[in-house]
């Protein structure tokens, strides 16, 4: 897909509306308070952005952890109230459809 510069805004969430600063180093990745704060920040972005929102994670493991925490904490339901959610599936080794 080709997206024009006028159609895209990039930003970084440094902290959620409530909770600690967002710190995803390995010592803090399981911090439920931080992950919920991150989720609340994403919900606010989803409420304000008129079209799509893209979240990028450095690994599938972190993405899975965040999604699981958000599902159990009700954050995903809040996101889905504002946006349709698509989650990239994990590519399987040897799967010809996953070739880059």
Q: What contacts 79, CB < 8 A, 6 or more positions away?
A: 39, 42, 43, 46, 70, 85
- pLDDT tens sequence across 47-69: 999 888 999 888 899 999 999 99
What are the distances in angstroms from CA 46 to CA 9, 36, 92?
A: 13, 15, 30
Task: Calculate mean pLDDT across residues 82-89.
Answer: 94
To the nearest whole percent, how much of the chain has pLDDT over 90?
Answer: 40
The pLDDT, as a whole number, for residue 100 is 45
The angle at the Cα of 67, spanning 16 to 70, to the nearest 5 degrees, equals: 55
The pLDDT, as a whole number, for residue 7 is 80
Model-level pTM? Answer: 0.79
Angle between helices 32-48 and 60-73 (to 10 degrees): 80
Helix (H, G, I), strand (E, B) or coil at 66: helix
Domain ranges of the chain: 5-86
């Amino acid at each position: 897909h080709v997206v024009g510069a006028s159609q895209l805004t990039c930003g970084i969430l440094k902290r959620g509306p409530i909770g600690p600063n967002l710190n995803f180093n390995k010592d803090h990745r399981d911090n439920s308070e931080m992950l919920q704060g991150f989720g609340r920040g994403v919900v606010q972005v989803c409420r304000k952005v008129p079209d799509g929102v893209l979240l990028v994670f450095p690994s599938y493991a972190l993405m899975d952890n965040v999604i699981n925490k958000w599902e159990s904490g009700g954050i995903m339901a809040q996101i889905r109230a504002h946006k349709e959610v698509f989650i990239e599936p994990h590519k399987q080794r040897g799967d010809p459809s996953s070739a880059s």
